[in-house]
Amino acid sequence: MIRSATDSDIPQINRLREQVNSLHVEGRPDIFKPGFCQELQDHAAWYLQSENNEIFVDDRDGEIAGMVMVDYISRPETPYGYAREFCHIAEICVDGKWRRKGVAHELMEHVRTEARKRGMKRIELDVWAFNDALGFYEAEGFRVFRRFMECDL
């Protein structure tokens, strides 16, 4: 069952977020710090208090199988671009034992539904090049519209 997260879900949400953080540390140890400090843990609680952010969880009989953190973003028009509103997926994680069982797809469908309810016509996310989830995102209909590149000196 996909539902909005509550404060009581934060320990399980952070258990999943720590998995995401570890993936990032392993993939880019030059950028991401190891460990999962209190400030990172507190970020989930902040999301629950913000009116422009939300966390959805896949609750399997009291066990959080997966979660997604979303930002609802409204950008004003500027000389460079038109005004736009969109949903941004900030973090998504499915616990290892629940992977490849449709949890991530169900979370994505729920995000689509909630974004539509808010009148949004677009969902964006960013993904690191080392992340194996790229194929999943493409299967969900996401496509590249911008690239970040780097050059070591």
Does residue 50 belong to any structural domain of this protein? yes
Q: What is the CATH number of the domain that holds 54?
A: 3.40.630.30
In a domain, 152, yes or no: no
Q: Is the pLDDT of residue 98 over 90?
A: yes
The two structure tokens encoding residue 104:
């991530």
C-alpha dihedral over 101, 27, 24, 112, to 10 degrees? Answer: -40
Q: List CB contacts of 126: < 8 A, sequence separation 6 or more.
A: 148
* Residue 83 in domain: yes
Question: What pLDDT score was predicted for residue 70?
Answer: 98
Q: How many domains does the chain have?
A: 1
d(CA 54, CA 48): 6
Residue 124's SS3 state is: strand
Instruction: Classify residue 145: in a domain, yes or no.
Output: no
Range of the domain at 21: 2-139
Q: Which residues contact 140 (CB under 8 A, 6 or more apart)?
A: 105, 108
In a domain, 153, yes or no: no
Residue-wise pLDDT for 110-153, tens only, equals: 999 999 999 999 999 999 999 989 999 999 999 999 999 999 99
40: in domain: yes
Q: Is beta strand 63-75 parallel, antiparallel or unpaired with respect to 123-125?
A: unpaired
pTM for the full predicted model: 0.93
User: What integer is the mean pLDDT of 79-91?
Assistant: 97
What pLDDT is attached to residue 61? 85
Strand order, beta sheet including 84-94: 2-4, 53-60, 63-75, 84-94, 123-125
Over the stretch 23-76, which tens digit does the pLDDT of each residue have?
A: 999 999 999 999 999 999 999 999 999 999 999 999 998 899 999 999 999 999
In a domain, 111, yes or no: yes
CA–CA distances in Å: residue 2 to residues 36, 52, 144: 26, 19, 27
